């Protein structure tokens, strides 16, 4: 029951974080361009004020619950070494931790990334993590 609860929280938080990235890339940037200049920036900032109160904590929740679930899913390394599933899970965990560390540095220490200032790269990582989470059970 504990694992199921943590997994459900993990998925809901991932939907919030990934959903924001999806909406930002497909809609908010287009809205800002359509409205133009100062008005577009003002409208985007009006939305982002509320986003900043929720989305970073959703990311922290995804990473935290992922860390809790990791040992349960990873299991023991056999005598032959890691299985393909364990290697994919390890790569997926690395990408998730990188996203979490990046978000933590931005939210807590106000350190903006030098590279990848848009949300395209984090969105790509989220999509990659989702794909890896599905294929890791069949490799």
pLDDT at residue 107, rounded to an integer: 86
The torsion region of residue 120 among left (phi > 0), alpha (psi -120 to 50) and beta comes to alpha
Q: How confident is the model at residue 87 (pLDDT cuts 50, 70, 90)?
A: very high
pTM value?
0.86
Q: How confident is the model at residue 114 (pLDDT cuts 50, 70, 90)?
A: low
pLDDT at residue 85, rounded to an integer: 92
pLDDT at residue 11, rounded to an integer: 95
The answer to whether 55 touches 20, Cβ cutoff 8 Å, is yes
- At residue 126, φ and ψ (nearest 5 deg) are -65, -45
Span 29-75, pLDDT tens digits? 888 888 888 888 888 889 889 998 999 999 999 999 999 999 999 98
Q: How confident is the model at residue 92 (pLDDT cuts 50, 70, 90)?
A: very high
């Amino acid at each position: 029951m504990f694992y199921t609860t943590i997994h459900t929280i993990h998925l809901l938080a991932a939907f919030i974080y990934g959903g924001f990235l999806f909406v930002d890339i497909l809609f908010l940037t287009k809205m800002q361009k359509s409205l133009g200049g100062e008005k577009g920036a003002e409208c985007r900032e009006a939305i982002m004020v509320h986003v900043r109160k929720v989305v970073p904590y959703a990311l922290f929740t995804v990473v935290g619950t992922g860390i809790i679930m990791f040992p349960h899913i990873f299991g023991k390394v056999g005598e032959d070494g890691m299985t393909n599933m364990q290697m994919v899970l390890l790569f997926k965990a690395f990408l998730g931790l990188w996203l979490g560390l990046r978000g933590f540095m931005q939210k807590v220490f106000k350190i903006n990334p030098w590279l990848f200032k848009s949300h395209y790269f984090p969105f790509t990582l989220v999509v990659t993590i989702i794909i890896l989470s599905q294929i890791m059970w069949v490799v």
